[in-house]
């Protein structure tokens, strides 16, 4: 008995000593669904870069899920060193609800801590049989539009706000007319999936709908994976600049002693190599040179930012809170 205890403790000590030799540092990157491939590539590149720079080995673990659900897991104690989420509202929530991140987190990195961007585009069936060219075509009778529920899906909030911003622009900021536009749009929405991937499945596998509103990176991925002979992408005249934010989780990195490497992990996203990886994974790069190189993949489109709609906190309150504009839009659309 005593012998076995001694053996076990020796083995444990051995494990503990052997641990650091395997990996000097481990980071946990809590991200949202569509960045899985992006960060797989990026983590390998960053580990190489960090090894060359400091001689240390770093291993980055990833966690993916809906942006809101991921933010909640961090609030509830997931030991994330960095978060790379779908919208700033979710990082704000981590800051507000759990105090793990200072309120001015967005000012710490360039472009309000959003190293890559995307936009909302239309995915249509091959040949574009319903001749969908712009947002106005989506409210025509007989056109069926697939978009997930903005109350449960971060991605869908971008879709909804892109449509709203377009309508505001079209009707000279007349909010009543913009609301009517949204009502006509949601009259054409037959299903509200709870998440973006569910909506893609509905459109692609179920064959439901003429148009799928999607993030550009998801749309490109869908076309590449499922066949260029089945779908094509339509870029509207005006859309929203979707800016997925990144942040170090301060309280956690201080506890883990990983602040230096975690900050560098996010900074390196802005480097030419980081930007190149983002572009390869169909996110629009911030770096002008990298953007030029990939110009053919990302067609020019007029973009407005969430700031034009008052920022995420305002947008969330006005549109997506219970009793907000989306509730009354969907109520009117379903009558």
Partner 1 sequence: MSAAKSRVIPGFAPTLGVTILYLSLVVLVPLSALFLKTAGMGWDDFVTAAFSPRVMAAYRLSFGGALAAGVINLFAGLLVAWVLVRYDFPGRKILDALVDLPFALPTAVAGIALTTIYGPKGIIGEPLLKLGIKVAYTPLGVLVAMTFIGLPFVVRTVQPVLQDLEAEHEEAATSLGATRIQIFLRVIIPAILPALLTGFALAFSRAVGEYGSVIFIAGNMPGLSEIAPLLIVTKLEQYDYRGATAIATVMLSASFLLLLTINSLQKWRRKRFAGE
**Stretch of 216-224, 267-275, 281-289, 316-324 contacting partner 1, by CB under 8 A:** 316-324
Residues in the chain: 335
Query: Using CB under 8 A, which of 14, 77, 110, 331 touches partner 1?
Result: 331
Is 208 one of the binding residues for partner 1 (CB under 8 A)? yes
Question: Closest CB to partner 1 among 153 and 258?
Answer: 153
User: What span, in angstroms and rounded, lies between the C-alpha atoms of 286 and 54?
Assistant: 27
User: What span, in angstroms and rounded, lies between the C-alpha atoms of 170 and 335?
Assistant: 25
SS3 call for 321: coil
Distance of CA 121 to the CA centre of its chain: 14
Is 54 one of the binding residues for partner 1 (CB under 8 A)? no
Beta carbon of residue 196, minimum distance to partner 1 (angstroms, whole number) = 13
User: What span, in angstroms and rounded, lies between the C-alpha atoms of 211 and 56?
Assistant: 48
Interface with partner 1 in residues 134-163 (CB under 8 A): 149, 151-152
**Stretch of 52-60, 65-73, 176-184, 304-312 contacting partner 1, by CB under 8 A:** 65-73
Interface with partner 1 in residues 107-136 (CB under 8 A): none
8 A C-beta contact, residue 160 and residue 214: no
**Stretch of 246-254, 265-273, 296-304, 325-333 contacting partner 1, by CB under 8 A:** 325-333
- Pick the closest to residue 120 from 306, 295, 264, 296 (CA basis): 306
8 A C-beta contact, residue 81 and residue 262: yes
Beta carbon of residue 106, minimum distance to partner 1 (angstroms, whole number) = 18
Distances in whole angstroms, Cα of residue 105 to Cα of each of 139, 184, 261, 310: 39, 38, 17, 18
User: What span, in angstroms and rounded, lies between the C-alpha atoms of 149 and 35?
Assistant: 20
Interface with partner 1 in residues 70-89 (CB under 8 A): 72
Beta carbon of residue 208, minimum distance to partner 1 (angstroms, whole number) = 6
Strand locations in 39-111 (E) = 58-63, 82-84
User: What span, in angstroms and rounded, lies between the C-alpha atoms of 77 and 206?
Assistant: 38
The DSSP string of 135-172 is HHHHTSTT--EE---TTT-HHHHHHHHHHHHHHHHHTT
Question: Closest CB to partner 1 among 68 and 285?
Answer: 68
Beta carbon of residue 161, minimum distance to partner 1 (angstroms, whole number) = 16
Distance of CA 120 to the CA centre of its chain: 11
Is 34 one of the binding residues for partner 1 (CB under 8 A)? no
Query: Using CB under 8 A, which of 102, 206, 227, 230 touches partner 1?
Result: 206
Beta carbon of residue 117, minimum distance to partner 1 (angstroms, whole number) = 23
Site string for partner 1, 182-201 (x = CB under 8 A): --------xxxxx---x--x
Binding-site ranges for partner 1 (CB under 8 A): 66, 68-69, 72, 93, 97, 149, 151-152, 190-194, 198, 201-202, 205-208, 316, 320-322, 327, 330-331, 334
């Amino acid at each position: 008995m005593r012998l076995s205890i001694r053996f076990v403790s020796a083995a444990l000590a051995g494990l503990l000593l052997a641990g650091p030799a395997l990996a000097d540092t481990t980071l946990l990157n809590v991200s949202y669904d569509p960045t899985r491939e992006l960060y797989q590539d990026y983590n390998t590149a960053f580990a190489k870069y960090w090894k060359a720079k400091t001689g240390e080995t770093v291993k980055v673990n990833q966690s993916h899920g809906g942006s809101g659900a991921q933010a909640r897991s961090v609030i509830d104690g997931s030991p994330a060193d960095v978060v790379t989420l779908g919208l700033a509202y979710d990082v704000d929530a981590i800051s507000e609800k759990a105090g793990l991140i200072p309120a001015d987190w967005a000012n710490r990195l360039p472009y309000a801590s959003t190293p890559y961007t995307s936009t909302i585009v239309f995915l249509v069936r091959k040949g574009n049989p319903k001749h969908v060219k712009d947002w106005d075509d989506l409210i025509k009778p007989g056109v069926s539009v697939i978009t997930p529920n903005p109350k449960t899906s971060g991605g869908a909030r971008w879709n909804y706000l892109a449509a709203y911003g377009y309508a505001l622009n079209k009707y000279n900021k007349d909010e009543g007319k913009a609301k009517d536009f949204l009502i006509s749009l949601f009259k054409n929405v037959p299903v509200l999936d709870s998440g973006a991937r569910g909506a893609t499945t509905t459109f692609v596998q179920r064959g439901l709908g003429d148009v799928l509103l999607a993030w550009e990176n998801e749309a490109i991925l869908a076309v590449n994976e499922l066949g260029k002979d089945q779908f094509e992408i339509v870029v509207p005249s005006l859309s929203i600049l979707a800016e997925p934010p990144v942040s170090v989780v301060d309280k956690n990195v201080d506890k883990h002693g990983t602040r230096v490497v975690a900050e560098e992990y996010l900074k390196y996203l802005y480097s030419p190599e980081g930007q190149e990886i983002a572009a390869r994974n169909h996110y629009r790069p911030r770096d002008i040179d990298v953007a030029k190189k990939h110009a053919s993949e990302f067609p020019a489109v007029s973009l407005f930012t969430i700031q034009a709609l008052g920022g995420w906190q305002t947008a969330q309150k006005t549109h997506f809170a219970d009793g907000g504009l989306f509730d009354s839009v969907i109520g009117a659309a379903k009558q």
